[in-house]
Amino acid sequence: MPTTTLSSREFNQDVSRAKRAAEDGPVIITDRGQPAYVLLRHDAYCRLTGGGPSILDLLAQPEGANIDFDPPKLPDGIFLPADLG
């Protein structure tokens, strides 16, 4: 899988070229000579990320909206005052 590198200027001037290059592999877009972005086909991105749900989807837990949560109380005397001296 070949990797293509384009400067930001080249990318802006010829987006179609970058898209064609992304058909064969990742396209690295540089900013002031340093790699800044990577252009991938969506299917390649899905393969890299496993195609599963995002962390946002996992944290939303719509099915868990009505979970009863009653944590046990901590016993007295386990906390000590802070020594600020």
| Structural domains in the chain, sorted by start | 4-50 (3.40.1620.10)
Maximum Cα–Cα distance across the chain: 69
Residue type, 13: Q
Return the sign of the alpha-carbon dihedral for residues 15, 20, 21, 27: positive
Cα separation, 16 vs 27, in Å, equals 12
Task: Please state the pTM of the whole predicted model.
Answer: 0.58
Confidence of residue 65 (pLDDT cuts 50, 70, 90): low
* Between 72 and 63, residue with greater pLDDT: 72
Q: Is the pLDDT of residue 55 over 70?
A: yes
Average per-residue pLDDT for the chain = 87
